[in-house]
Amino acid sequence: MKYSESLKKNRDFQQVYKRGTSKANRYLVMYVLPNQHMMNRLGISVSKKVGNSVVRHRLTRLIRESYRLNEEKFDRNLDIVVIARNSAKDRSYQEIESAFMNLAQKHAIVGGTDEETSY
């Protein structure tokens, strides 16, 4: 994540929950709030209800990787919090990435910048 850092503090998460907008699909919930930092900040939350620590960390890694690989497409100056739902537990990387990008498009925070520009 070269253009981003992680949301770590509880008060930052709470601020995004209270002031941000939320969209959801079958596997994920995404909250988005514009920030004053010159970069995006990504926070990921996976409840103990979803599974044991192995399952929770796997989902966290899948969500973080989905963001990392598509990072150039995202608008800047955003706080993004992603919450994994219980139904995401047994899903593949492709399903999680598809759900993640679907929510980003619903929030209209994905610009269509392609790296395939010809010179």
pLDDT of residue 69: 95
Q: What number is the average pLDDT over the span 53-65?
A: 97
Residue 2 binned pLDDT confidence (cut-offs 50, 70, 90): confident
Pick the closest to residue 48 from 60, 37, 30 (CA basis).
60
Label residues 50-62 b or e (16+ Cβ within 10 Å = b). bbeeebbebbeeb
The three-state secondary structure class of 34 is strand
pTM passes above 0.95: no
- C-alpha span between 69 and 35 (Å, rounded): 22
* Tens digit of each residue's pLDDT (9 = 90 or more) over 32-56: 999 998 899 999 999 999 999 999 9
From edge to edge, which strands make up the β-sheet containing 28-34? 4-6, 40-46, 78-84, 28-34, 21-24
